[in-house]
Amino acid sequence: MPENSSVANCCASSRLAAGPTWSGSAGTGSPGTTPRAPWVAPLLSTVVVVTIAVDFVGNLLVILSVLRNRKLRNAGNLFVVSLALADLVVALYPYPLILVAIIHGGWALGEAHCKASAFVMGLSVIGSVFSITAIAINRYWCICHSATYHRVCSHRHAPVYISLVWLLTLVALVPNFFVGSLEYDPRIYSCTFIQTASTQYTAAVVAIHFLLPIAVVSFCYLRIWVLVLQARRKAKAERKLRLRPSDLRSFLTMFAVFVVFAICWAPLNCIGLAVAIDPEAMALQVPEGLFVTSYFLAYFNSCLNAIVYGLLNQNFRREYKRILSALWKTGRCFHDVSKRCLTEELQDPMPPIARATMPVQEGAL
């Protein structure tokens, strides 16, 4: 998810912006790239493999939980499904390609896959940011304006808002095709946005894709926290506030998702802000180890939301157990049936084909 406001490839130097060598770069890296310790590639491969596995299983569990459980099938959780889809898509396409690049020591899949994976990565990260923002607004309206919540955000309205989120995500990605920022960065084995392609665009990305959403989400959750504290102290000004335990649990869960997102993306965004201010000077001063670590920490965020739901939300945790239990029983059933069939075949000395072709003797009928 490298193209978010983090200014994903914020510290790409001019030599990288000059253009990658696509299939020919496999195993060679980029000219001037310092050799790495032999343990770096296995470590990064392990991080990507774990991220893909947990991302795929976790976000699939989230989607199935909302679809299966009537208690979870509400307008607010439709935004959670949108966020889960945004995280799931990177486990299906860009991350496996990054793993291939790490194994080959460079990008060996051609320019088309590079552009496509960078686009999908941007779709995921910006979609995640906007979905988290939409969730915060939804929770704010649910708790702070509960009297009008069902009129403003019903099951009928939620799909419209989600469609708007993804429409804005697509619009936010369009400028990348005009500034030529989709390139391969050998330091992170990823095709991403080269932010030094346009400092003005980089500044706009930081402001619109990170600072503005963070400001909106912070306002919403700060306002909710104030109301929660006032409700607990039975403040006279908030007598009309009806805070249900389920609303409070949902708020705490989504607040934790926001905090985890901010922690995972903060290092890369700080680097991006510094480089946006002075790209020529800062791009060369950012240590490669810090940049790579911050990048893969941002990657890792896509697999954490499902874990947060399971830890903090009892309904999600119960539904996880039901789904996994059903899958386990189904697997055991198939295993037992296969084992029984194999046992019967071993006990029967005559092969099935021989039984089918054995002539019927007279008087046998």
List pLDDT tens digits, range 327-364. Answer: 888 877 876 676 676 666 666 555 555 555 555 555 44
pLDDT reported for residue 349:
55
CA dist 65 and 365 (Å) reads 56
Domain ranges of the chain: 14-312, 317-357
Alpha helices in the chain, H assignment, sequence order: 14-17, 40-68, 75-92, 94-104, 110-144, 146-152, 158-173, 176-179, 199-206, 212-232, 245-277, 279-285, 288-300, 305-312, 314-347, 352-357
CA dist 176 and 45 (Å) reads 28
DSSP state of 302: G
Distance of CA 107 to the CA centre of its chain: 22
Instruction: Give me the mean pLDDT over the 98-104 stretch.
Output: 93
Closest CA to 179 of 6, 1, 9: 9
Q: What is the pLDDT of residues 127-181, one digit of tens each?
A: 999 999 999 999 999 888 888 888 888 888 899 999 999 999 999 888 888 887 7
Under the banding of pLDDT at 50, 70 and 90, the label for residue 27 is very low
Q: Are 89 and 82 in contact (CB under 8 A)?
A: no
Under the banding of pLDDT at 50, 70 and 90, the label for residue 195 is low
Using DSSP's 3-state secondary structure scheme, residue 185 falls into strand
Q: Are 305 and 39 in contact (CB under 8 A)?
A: no
Looking at the predicted structure, is the pLDDT value of residue 31 above 60?
no
Q: Kindly report the backbone phi and psi dihedral angles of residue 146, in degrees, each rounded to the nearest multiple of 5, phi listed first.
A: -60, -30
* Other beta carbons within 10 Å of 352: 9
CA dist 51 and 307 (Å) reads 12
In sequence order, which residues have a C-beta less than 8 Å from that of residue 174 and are 6 or more positions away? none
Instruction: Give me the mean pLDDT over the 178-198 stretch.
Output: 81
Q: Of 3.40.50.2300, 3.40.190.10, 3.40.50.300, 1.20.1070.10, which CATH number belongs to 14-312?
A: 1.20.1070.10
